[in-house]
DNA sequence: TTATATTTGCTAACGGTGTTAGGTAAAACG
DNA sequence: CGTTTTACCTAACACCGTTAGCAAATATAA
């Protein structure tokens, strides 16, 4: 069955061609200007070929969204592993989150619908539990080390994430007239407040 | 010149008809499905008539964006006026922000590009200085009342806003599986942390 | 090898979008 | 009344996502 195998590999090639071309376009011109027709043009196939590999344009976006979450989760994981003290871990993860979002604006936009089309209440992010788990572990430890072990971990996690997401999405939307340096200070300031409030 | 005056009033009527119809559509079906053609259809004029009143679809959106900011600023102002203690003011303004965003999801989405098309780095919000000013006043007072008068007000303001925006946009995007009650707790928790960190 | 079945890729269309050029009829003005 | 401005429309342009249907190339079976 060497023939059908080669066939499958050819198909996989086209599939990855679609994805890499699409990603290149997004990086160059943003999500707005990504279109099935342009992808087809770039990979020198006709439009319906795209639909042999992806059910819809949405499906392509989901692909990228999941990839983005995978990358982010990895970064967070690595940041956490660098420290043993939970508070240090939280600071490192906040930094990693911030850096990921700004270095991978396109991923972040897609993942959380910052200035995007689509994304109407749909949750791309099925694998988000892993991300949640990693951050919550540090929060749990940080709380148990302090005097207030009765705190709601889920609540604290949510607060943590909100702070990060707010900062990042304001930055990405370009609504913030302040410099990048100040933004980093804001991040540290907000995280400090969060940590102080842990116990 | 009674004739030209009546003419102008007629024109104004069409203009407001466009806006009210558009707004109704958005409330019913979301920003996604708003189209020039549907508006024209609803007000029983042909498509180009819209372009006699608005330069583009974007211009209509800007109109709503500014209206949203006006409304939000008003709510924030009113919340502030209810208290004299700056910390109470901050809490009230945070509540007002939260309530506005959830009661006026469509405005908020447009203003800050939460799950929207358009909004690529453009800043609709020219009048944002007023909003900034109102919040910063309370922060300034809260800081000067505490021991740490050297704090950067602009930084603190930004932190405050980031917390609010993060919470709101996560809620609006529907990425948060937690209940509305918990969300309110998260808001209070985050604001508590912010206030503790003020001095 | 030949006949059949499957896969591959295409053209062309459907219905939708924002936007605009160009024409017509009505109204306002001198 | 004639002229000019205004209001309004039809029709088109250039896109978009999506799909039906067909032709050619390939793989499978007899």
- What are the CB-based long-range contacts (under 8 Å, 24+) for A75-81? A75/A99, A75/A100, A76/A100, A76/A131, A76/A134, A76/A135, A77/A134, A80/A134, A80/A137, A80/A138
| A12, burial (CB in 10 Å: exposed 0-12, middle 13-18, buried 19+) | exposed
Nearest one of A140, A113, A96, A90 to B175, comparing CA atoms: A113
**Amino acid A2: pLDDT:** 59
CA–C1' B183–D20 (A): 48
How many angstroms away from the CA of B141 is the closest CA of chain A?
Answer: 18
Q: Tell me the backbone φ, ψ of residue B56, rounded to 5 degrees.
A: -165, 175
Q: Which parts of the protein come within 7 Å of strand C, by CB position?
A: A 7, 11, 14, 44-49, 52; B 1, 3-4, 7, 33-38, 47-48, 51, 56-58
Q: Where are the alpha helices (DSSP H) in chain A?
A: 2-29, 36-43, 47-53, 57-81, 86-103, 105-112, 128-145, 153-173, 180-196
Q: Which residues of A touch B190 (CB under 8 A)?
A: 159, 162-163, 194
**Amino acid A121: pLDDT:** 45
How many angstroms away from the CA of B197 is the closest CA of chain A?
Answer: 5
CA distance A191 to B193: 9
Q: Do A154 and B192 touch (CB under 8 A)?
A: no
**In which residue ranges of chain A is pLDDT below 70?**
1-4, 117-126, 147-150, 175-179
Q: Do B164 and A159 touch (CB under 8 A)?
A: no
**Amino acid B121: pLDDT:** 45
**Amino acid B194: pLDDT:** 92
pLDDT, tens digit, for every residue of A72-95?
999 999 999 999 999 999 999 999
Q: Which residues of A touch B120 (CB under 8 A)?
A: 30, 32, 115
A119: nearest CB among B122, B173, B183: B173
How many angstroms away from the CA of A96 is the closest CA of chain B?
Answer: 17
pLDDT, tens digit, for every residue of B44-74?
999 999 999 999 999 999 999 999 999 999 9
Nearest one of A165, A164, A169 to A188, comparing CA atoms: A164
**In which residue ranges of chain B is pLDDT below 50?**
120-122
CA distance B38 to B150: 55
Q: What is the largest CA-CA distance in chain B?
A: 66
B112: nearest CB among A117, A152, A173: A173
**Amino acid B119: pLDDT:** 54
CB-CB contact of A163 with B162 (8 Å): yes
Nearest one of A94, A96, A86 to A137, comparing CA atoms: A86
A164: nearest CB among B114, B128, B166: B166
CA distance A190 to B197: 8
Q: Which residues of B touch A185 (CB under 8 A)?
A: 152, 155
**Amino acid A176: pLDDT:** 63
Nearest one of B198, B2, B3, B31 to B115, comparing CA atoms: B31
CA distance B112 to B72: 12
**Amino acid B130: pLDDT:** 83
């Amino acid at each position: 069955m060497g023939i059908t195998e080669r066939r499958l590999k050819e198909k996989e090639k086209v599939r990855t061609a679609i994805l890499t071309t699409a990603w290149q376009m997004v990086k160059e011109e943003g999500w707005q200007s990504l279109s099935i027709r342009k992808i087809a043009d770039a990979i020198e196939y006709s439009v319906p070929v795209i639909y042999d590999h992806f059910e819809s344009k949405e499906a392509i976006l989901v692909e990228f969204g999941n990839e983005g979450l995978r990358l982010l989760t990895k970064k967070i994981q690595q940041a956490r592993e660098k420290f043993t003290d939970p508070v240090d871990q939280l600071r490192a993860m906040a930094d990693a989150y911030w850096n990921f979002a700004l270095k991978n604006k396109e991923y972040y936009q897609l993942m959380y619908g910052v200035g995007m089309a689509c994304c109407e209440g749909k949750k791309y992010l099925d694998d988000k539990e892993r991300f949640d788990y990693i951050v919550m572990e540090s929060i749990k430890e940080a709380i148990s080390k302090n005097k207030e072990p009765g705190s709601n971990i889920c609540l604290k996690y949510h607060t943590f994430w909100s702070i990060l997401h707010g900062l990042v999405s304001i930055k990405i939307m370009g609504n913030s007239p302040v410099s990048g340096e100040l933004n980093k200070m804001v991040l540290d300031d907000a995280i400090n407040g969060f940590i102080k409030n842990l116990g």
